[in-house]
Amino acid sequence: MKKWMPLIAFFPLLSTVAMSQKVPVYLDDSKTIEQRVNAALSAMTLEEKVAMCHAQSIFSSKGVARLGIPELWMSDGPHGVHPELFYDYWAQANWTNDSSTAFPALTCLAASFNPPIAELYGKAVGEEARYRNKSVLLGPGVNIYRTPLNGRNFEYMGEDPFLASKLVVPYIKGVQSNGVAACVKHFALNEQETWRMDVDVDVSERALHEIYLPAFKAAVKEGKVWSVMGAYNKFRGHHCSHNDILLNQILKKEWKFDGVVISDWGGVHNTQEAAYNGLDLEMGTNTDGMTSSIANSYNSYFLAVPFLKELNSGKIDTFIVNEKARRILRLIFRTTMNRNRPFGSLATPEHAAVARKIAQEGMVLLKNDKQILPIPNTIKSIAVIGENATRSMTIGGGSSELKVRYEVSPLEGIKNRFGKTALVQYAQGYGSGKYLYDSIAPSPYDAVKLRDEAVALAAKSELVVLVGGLNKNSNQDCEGRDRLDYGLPFGQNELLTDILNVNKNVVLVVVSGNAVEMPWEKQVPAIVQAWYGGTESGNAIADILSGDVNPSGKLPFTFPVKLSDNGAISLGKTSYPGNENGHKQVYKDGIFVGYRWHDSKSIPPLFPFGHGLSYTQFAYSNLSLTKETDGNIKATFTIANKGKVSGNEVAQLYIHKENSTIERAENELKGFQKVFLLAGEAKTVSLQLNKEAFQYYNEKRKDWATEKGAYTILVGGSSREVYLKKSIVL
């Protein structure tokens, strides 16, 4: 025992020496982030700076171990934290503790028209990312819904830049309140999956600034987002992950973005462009990892050894790598080295409740003839039909795929709500086959047999709830490939027609992240757009169908009657998906996207942007406009609940320029508010219109401008359901 005494006696001396040494500034959290960044940067070697600028594994990048600066770890999102993958291999690592909560898809969040719900969403998903020790959550996505064929539309926030801007900011603030960086994506013009790696997009300056950039701008300037992901596609000849116009001139210079630009995985193509054109962190270029014939594929990234060689040779200035390392250090100090960030939580009952609330608020009642909904408690038999009534919707879809603690299916939700008092029976009706990411999944089912079984069940049931729509297979709502057509797949049209022949009491629940063609719409009495509702999807659907929750969602994009009614598609292949020779593409629809196209070109939609019904009736009255001392205009009006059911209404405000001398959309959304009203209650609503609400982008001046003259302010329940209007002169 005595032989250890000298060592034990030495421990206090070691401790005293350690405590007497001054803590490096970069490790001193009493210093500002910028002081710590400067100190760390001055202590780093050139090799260490370069090593920070590229991946070290599929989802991580290096810190500086010598200085005690940790790595960055990232996770796919934005609807939940992705399951763990192997370090160097694109497959799930089969951990037993990485099951998460599935939150509804962002189309559902957009349909809520509710910014406080967006912050609740971001905070909850950020808590899960923090618990899993992630530095960056790769989301949200705010690319614009330009066509109904885009395979990733379900990950985005709809067709309107104002709506997306108002929802992305609170989402980001919620995520980052946990010390986890949100990563807004895909910057920019990534509105399709066809040829996504190299389609070369050209768009007018006006459409770029009025339609495709506002949500990104809001994420940076208002949301203070800490990271931005570059897109795969090209913009005017240069890939977006190293595009001087987008990243240097607009994002960093004009918007003063101080965070990190991260490439989409495999989105980098050139060392010089990556160095000089705004990229900070390269991810995923050779993500076969150690299976590559190269000893370490990560060293072969464009911003790895090739970058270091050009720095050492003087072909690239050293201030370039210093700027990249500075931004990455700033991100590390905001996240991984932020000692004050909370610990987070994972797959809790509270998070499930948040997921259910979002699903409830986003679900849209598209149609309810003869008030077939809500389903009465006196119902005795319900036929639930459709593969989507039982199919997992958290599996598939590409990078947003999740491994969840549990997932309530629509069938389970309906049984939970009605099963004690009614006979609830199920028939599959149609089949699509297993999820395949990179090919079309063949169906192993006998389609005729499935349809016959479903029709027989429908004939003997009091009510039919057909749960159909799309799924997350390739060529559906899925990353990597766009949809092949606008119609419902897998024989659902024929199934629905046959069911209607034997039972007229049909409720169609559409599970999708995209609009679908509905040639039978007039024959179906009730239609509900349910989106991808996440962990609590089935219970939320039952909440709406039963009337336990009054539907209040509004469409965040237009449903065209037919595909050719969509602006981008109607203008030919050059407009969508682009020319096969060189994959050149021109956004010929310009500023006329979604309802702007339909309303300005007088093309009636199947369901308009902002549409959504309720189980009660709302009345609007008493619109007044007041010019405030700060130059803003306040629109004030009254909403009254004239029905017998309490509920939320989304009041929407649009502006119309009278006698415009420039080409403008017929109406533009510039304000909205979700208002809860008890049965019989009335409330006064006020919406502020600032000067930006009336501006357009002047291409000659390359700046925003306001056209003088008269404007009509329109208030109502959708882009086409206007109840109040009044003019004002600027």
Query: H/E element holding 304?
Result: none
Residue 491 has pLDDT above 60, yes or no: yes
Angstrom distance (rounded) from CA 632 to CA 68? 51
Domain(s) of CATH 2.60.40.10: residues in the chain: 617-729
Average pLDDT, whole number, for the chain?
94
Question: In which order are the strands placed within the sheet that holds 260-262?
Answer: 55-57, 60-61, 72-76, 136-138, 181-187, 227-230, 260-262
Q: Which residues are catalytic?
A: 264
Lowest mean pLDDT among 202-216, 276-290, 579-593, 650-664: 276-290
Give the amino acid at 480. G
pTM: 0.95
User: Tokens 């990229």 map to which residue?
Assistant: 279
Q: Does domain 2-334 have CATH number 2.40.37.10?
A: no
337 vs 290: which has the higher pLDDT: 337
Residue 657 has pLDDT above 50, yes or no: yes
CB 626 within 8 A of CB 634: yes
What's the CATH superfamily of 349-557? Glycoside hydrolase family 3 C-terminal domain (3.40.50.1700)
Residue 152 pLDDT grade (very low, low, confident, very high; cuts 50, 70, 90): very high
* pLDDT tens digits for range 101-137: 999 999 999 999 999 999 999 999 999 999 999 999 9
Average pLDDT over residues 411-417: 98
Residue 288 has pLDDT above 90, yes or no: no
Angstrom distance (rounded) from CA 120 to CA 114? 10
Residue 581 is predicted with a pLDDT of 86
Angstrom distance (rounded) from CA 224 to CA 420? 50
Average pLDDT over residues 536-563: 98
Tokens of 257: 């973005």
Share of the chain above pLDDT 70, in %: 95
What's the CATH superfamily of 617-729? Immunoglobulins (2.60.40.10)
Residue 455 has pLDDT above 80, yes or no: yes
Q: Is the dihedral of CA 601, 613, 103, 439 positive or negative?
A: negative
Domain(s) of CATH 3.40.50.1700: residues in the chain: 349-557
Tokens of 300: 């072969």
The DSSP annotation for 493-538 comes to: HHHHHHHHHH-S-EEEEEE-SS----TTGGG-SEEEE----GGGHH
Strands 618-627 and 584-586, how do they pair?
unpaired
Residue 295 is predicted with a pLDDT of 53
Give the amino acid at 312. N
Residue 438 is predicted with a pLDDT of 62
Domain(s) of CATH 3.20.20.300: residues in the chain: 2-334
Residue 631 has pLDDT above 90, yes or no: no
Average pLDDT over residues 416-440: 87
Half-sphere exposure of 300 (CA within 13 A, CB side): 13
Q: Is the dihedral of CA 204, 210, 215, 218 positive or negative?
A: positive
